[in-house]
Amino acid sequence: MYLADQTWPELGDYVAEESVAVVPLGSTEQHGPHLPLATDHLIAEALAREAADRAGYLCTPTINVGVSTHHMQFHGTMSVDPPQFRDYVESFSRNLTYHGIDRIVYVNAHGGNMQHLREVGRRLREDEAAFAVEWMWDESIPELVSDIFEHNGPHGGPKETAMIMHIAPELVREDKLEAARDGGVVNLLDGNPTIHGARNYYDAIDNSENGVFGDQTDATPEKGEEIFEAATEQLVQLLDWLDDARFSDLMAKPHVDPQPGSRR
Query: Which residues have a Cβ under 8 Å from the Cβ of 259 and sit 6 or more positions away?
Result: none
Residue 244 lies in a domain: yes
The amino acid occupying position 147 is D
pLDDT of 261 over the 90 cut: no
pLDDT in tens, 58-71: 999 999 999 999 99
Looking only at the bridges linking them, the beta strands covering 131-136 and 194-195 are unpaired
Q: Looking at residues 11-23, what average pLDDT do you find?
A: 97
Please check whether residue 121 lies inside any domain of the structure: yes
For the chain, give the mean pLDDT: 95
As for how many domains the chain has, the answer is: 1
Average of per-residue pLDDT across 115-128: 97
First-to-last alpha carbon distance for the chain, in angstroms, is: 52
Residue 252 has pLDDT above 80, yes or no: yes
**8 A C-beta contact, residue 31 and residue 6:** no
Position 261 in a domain: no
What is the three-class DSSP state of 156?
coil
Any domain includes 262: no
Give the range of the structural domain holding residue 169, as residue numbers without chain letter.
Answer: 3-250
Eight-class DSSP state of 251: S
d(CA 47, CA 53): 10
The CATH code of the domain that includes 91 is: 3.40.50.10310
Residue 147, in any domain of the structure: yes
